Structure formats: structure tokens, C-alpha cells
Amino acid sequence: MSIRSRMLAGDQPCERLLRLGVGALSDAELVALVAGIEAEGRDDVAVGHELIVEVGGLRGLSTAFPEELTRSPGIGPAGAARLLAAFELAARATAAPTNRVVDSAAAIAELVSPVLARERREKVLVLVADAANRVLRLVPVATGGVDSSPLPVREVLQAVLRYDGRAFALAHNHPSGDPTPSVQDREATEAVGRAADAVGLRFLDHVVLAGSSWRSVRPAA
């Protein structure tokens, strides 16, 4: 339904969603509804359409930064947060189950690849596992710039202990496209390994991903 015909019919997205189901709404209507767009003197769906075009489609929208979304009229920080939260919920709903056993670097890379593939900045994930190396939860602990992200040792261990983990692995992405571990990656991995030993946790591995490629940063023996 075009914006004009929708206005003539007096049929708002929320009303049509409740009557016909979510599939009846266009992409722009869904964006307007989730973000709560309120642009003075503008149609909310038209603004939603312009935003989708501006960021390069729905995939671009799903990976947009909050500051990119709030440039659009009628979208404030709360609306941007709602949009990003909706995409994250959708990603989690379709993600691989987290009860998989991670017994190799390849298994770690396969599990986290769908999550990190959407990231345009470096992001560090902790894979919290039980005594049998079954993953209980994926926990983000740090997000950095386009080519760097700090590895907070304390937050890593706290995440594992918070979810009753007995073992854990780390994974992060390199938006540069090169999965080769940096000197800082290796040093941080060694620091995490020492800290894990001190509190009785098993550190399985640290994997760096870049696109479809990955490399292992082996913890010190």
C-alpha cells in the first residue's frame, strides 16, 4: 500500500498489523512503527523509507550505528535504540543454539561467525561453557573502533562466573579484513590465560575472525 493510499484509507501501520498480521506491513512501515518516528510536518513512513535508502537497505540498517540513525528527522536516541534492539532480537531468534560443544577453534569460529559478521567495529565475545565445553551463553564484553577493541580481563572472567561457566573461549572480529592476530591480541590472550588459571577456569581458545576467514590465538600452555 502506498503512503498516499494508506493516508486516504486512514489505515495506520499499527492498526493494519493487528488486523492482518506483521507481514502486511512494508519495510518502511515497520521501521516507522518500531522507531516511533515523529517528524513534524512529514509522514512517518516516508521518513522510514528515506532512512532505509540512506543506509543502504535493511542490512545497512541492521548494522548502523546509533549516531547514524539519529541523523534522520524524527528519530531520537530512544527510537534508534528500539530499532537496533529489534534487529538484535531477530538475530538471536535465528542464531544457532548455544548448547553446542566447542571442542576446536573451528567450532568456535562457526558458532560466532553469524554474530560477528554483522559488526563494523571490533567486538569481543565470551563463549561461556560448562565442564563438557557446551556453550551456555555468548556474552559481548567490549566494542572498540573500526580497528581496535580492548580486551578487559576482569569483565571476561566476571561474565564466565556470572553464568556459572567452568570453561570459556574468546572471539573477536577484525573489520580490516585480515584475521591475523596482532601483537596486542597475543599479549591479551596470554593475560586472560594467566587470569583464568588463577581462578580455576579453563581457557579454551581465542579466535579472530575477518569475513569468512579466521585464525586461532592459542592460550599459553
- pLDDT tens for 13-65 read 888 788 778 888 889 999 999 988 887 778 888 888 999 998 888 888 888 88
Record the cell numbers describing residue 70, joined without a space: 539519529
Between CA 15 and CA 5 the distance in angstroms is 15
State percent of the chain over pLDDT 90.
45
- Residue 3: the pLDDT is 47
Task: Output the average pLDDT for the chain.
Answer: 85
- Residue 95: the pLDDT is 64
- Between 32 and 147, the more confident residue is 32
159 and 195 Cβ atoms separated by less than 8 Å:
no
pLDDT for residue 122 is more than 80: yes
pLDDT for residue 10 is more than 80: no
Give me the architecture of the 3-94 domain, per CATH.
Orthogonal Bundle (1.10)
Q: Do domains 3-94 and 105-217 have the same CATH topology?
A: no
Q: What is the mean pLDDT of residues 172-180?
A: 92
- Residue 106: the pLDDT is 95
Between CA 111 and CA 109 the distance in angstroms is 5
Q: What is the mean pLDDT of residues 92-121?
A: 84
Query: Facing residues of 209 across strands?
Result: 173, 214
Q: In what order do the strands lie in the sheet with 123-129?
A: 135-143, 123-129, 167-173, 202-210, 213-217
pLDDT for residue 9 is more than 70: no
- pLDDT tens for 64-95 read 889 989 988 888 999 999 998 998 888 777 66
DSSP state of 145: -
Record the cell numbers describing residue 199, joined without a space: 581462578
Question: Per-domain residue ranges for the chain?
Answer: 3-94, 105-217
Homologous superfamily assigned to 105-217? Cytidine Deaminase, domain 2 (3.40.140.10)
- Residue 65: the pLDDT is 87
108 and 102 Cβ atoms separated by less than 8 Å:
yes
Residues 15, 21, 25, 29, CA torsion sign:
positive
